Amino acid sequence: MNRRDALLQKWPEWERLFPGAFRYPKKLGVKGFEGDGGLTIISFDPSGDYDLTSGQSRKFYELLLKYGQQDAHLMDTYLVPSLEIGDREQAAREVFLEHLAAAQPDAILVMDMTSWWRPDTLESGFKGGNSFAWHKFVQWVPPRYPVGSPAVNRWGAPDLVIQDQHRGCTIPCYRIYHYSYMRRGVDKVKIWEERFASVLADLGLLIPTLPWAWGSRPRPHLLEPLMPPDRLRVRLVLDLHPRGRGGVLHAVLVLRHDAFHVLLADRPE
């Protein structure tokens, strides 16, 4: 069963267990809960902004779209506000793990309100208790590998690598501040976006862009498939001047530890 169908099949059961359960809406070209891409993004609990009308919610969706992650699956640790969980903690954990299994993530990004992505808090999360996404995530996920183990070598900088017991694969997990952080101004938006871009680069999902505004100019031609890299190392932008041509040929070399890939495009002078 594909990701979307698996999620929609389970939703009525989750909604019965947690009446009023929230799921991220389709909006601005982003699929939200129905996202069936390989990236799953996890928050903590519903904020009350159920229609995602706030400025920071809109910016979050816009950045997903900007970086080609409109198909990412968006979910919360708790389907209702955490204060409403009460004695249903075990049921919430079971639903969370079912949700992850249905989403079938290839990579996970956890939006955490407090701990950011500091390695020294990897196992403890927020010191004040169990009320934030990363802390709950490391409590609840299946067996995990410590950072630095051989299982991590496929990626450059995950905060954690977990084992998917259903599919028999490993999943890199990363931390980022919650998107509500962006309400604090353009500087915070920039910080959030830089972190998001660095995670996508580590996963090989960030296609390098040439350094000028495209306008009506031709998009780059991908001469060699840009496959997910083991580790993104360096980007170089070179100006080449072929003989007999009026334009300047620009190339972006994406260097990795095992190969390099080239993007070429003509730019009129």
CATH fold of 3-203 reads Uracil-DNA Glycosylase, subunit E (3.40.470)
- What pTM was estimated for this model as a whole? 0.74
What's the mean per-residue pLDDT of the chain?
A: 75
Better-scored residue on pLDDT, 79 or 235: 79
Sheet holding 260-267, edge to edge: 221-222, 260-267, 248-256, 232-240
Q: What is the pLDDT of residue 233?
A: 38
Confidence of residue 148 (pLDDT cuts 50, 70, 90): confident
> Which of 153-167, 191-205, 227-241 has the highest average model confidence (pLDDT)?
191-205
Better-scored residue on pLDDT, 49 or 29: 29
Spell out the domain ranges in the chain: 3-203, 221-267
Close Cβ partners of 152 (under 8 Å, ≥ 6 residues apart) = 145, 158, 161, 172
Q: What is the pLDDT of residue 210?
A: 41
Burial class of 259 by CB neighbour count within 10 A (0 to 12, 13 to 18, 19+)? exposed
